[in-house]
Amino acid sequence: SSESVEGQTYVIGTDTTFAPFEFRQDGELTGIDMDLLRAIAEDQGFEVEIRSLGFNAALAALSSNQVDGVIAGMSITDERKEIYDFSEPYFESGVQMAVAANNEDITSYEDLKGKTVVAKTGAEGESYAKSIAKEYGFKVKSLDQSATMYESVKAGSAVAVFDDYPVLAYGIAQGNGLKTVTDRVPGGSYGFAVNRGENTALLAAFNDGLAELKASGEYDQILDSYLADPT
Ligand code: GLN
């Protein structure tokens, strides 16, 4: 007999500001990840207590069992699969570079020579930036939050930021003062994560609920409510 999630409360870690996946609106945590998780919990009959920890802190909290799972625009990667079990992918993503909207000097990775870029601690953007840093001769400074990374690019303490392209695109469309100048680097899709071999009932319920939301059209409704072009 399999363990049931019904009536259980699970503590779930997430990032702080990673719009449109998680962010605060009028003090409330909202976004695609939050809506998907809450709808899945409702569909599957469990409760969630969401902790807005920051990306790297959420992964650390998961590893030390302070949270049961993480949903944070977290990319499914082979390296992470060694320590976490992931749900079915629910969103395709990858990394891209952005610069200040008024920056005309940086139009390619070659222009980063001798400069400093920012990326998020423990994130795919950081791994990617570090993987090409030597080749192009730039430095990578790691910060914990997307909001802080964007501010440091606008303030000129870094010339560019490497972050997930759906998040950069959303922020740019909202007028955050950045622009993208290089191609997207397609990467891992997002998944919900638990520690490897643990919380198997929760993971199964997440997958079942996700399938239900896709079949009912609610998955599309949630995505559209954040991403559909205004007409
Ligand atoms: N998708 C990226 C990763 O998993 C970034 C996630 C985030 O910053 N919340 O590393």
Q: Supply the residue whose CA is at minimum distance from atom 5 of ligand 1.
A: 123
Check: CB of residue 231 under 8 Å from CB of residue 41: no
What letter would DSSP give residue 75?
B
Q: Supply the residue whose CA is at minimum distance from atom 10 of ligand 1.
A: 123
Q: Which element (helix H / strand E) includes 49? A: strand 47-52
Cα gap 229→231, rounded to integer Å = 6
Which one of 34, 55, 71, 121 would you pick to mutate in the ligand 1 pocket, going by the greatest count of ligand atoms within 8 A of its CB?
55
Counted residue by residue, the chain has a size of 231
State whether the beta carbon of 70 lies less than 6 angstroms from ligand 1. Answer: no
Digits of tens for pLDDT over the chain (231 positions)?
A: 357 999 999 999 999 999 999 999 999 999 999 999 999 999 999 999 999 999 999 999 999 999 999 999 999 999 999 999 999 999 999 999 999 999 999 999 999 999 999 999 999 999 999 999 999 999 999 999 999 999 999 999 999 999 999 999 999 999 999 999 999 998 889 999 999 999 999 999 999 999 999 999 999 999 999 998 755
| Domains delineated in the chain | 9-91+188-227 (3.40.190.10), 94-186 (3.40.190.10)
State whether the beta carbon of 18 lies less than 6 angstroms from ligand 1. Answer: yes
Nearest-atom number in ligand 1 for the CA of 15 is 9
Reported pTM: 0.96
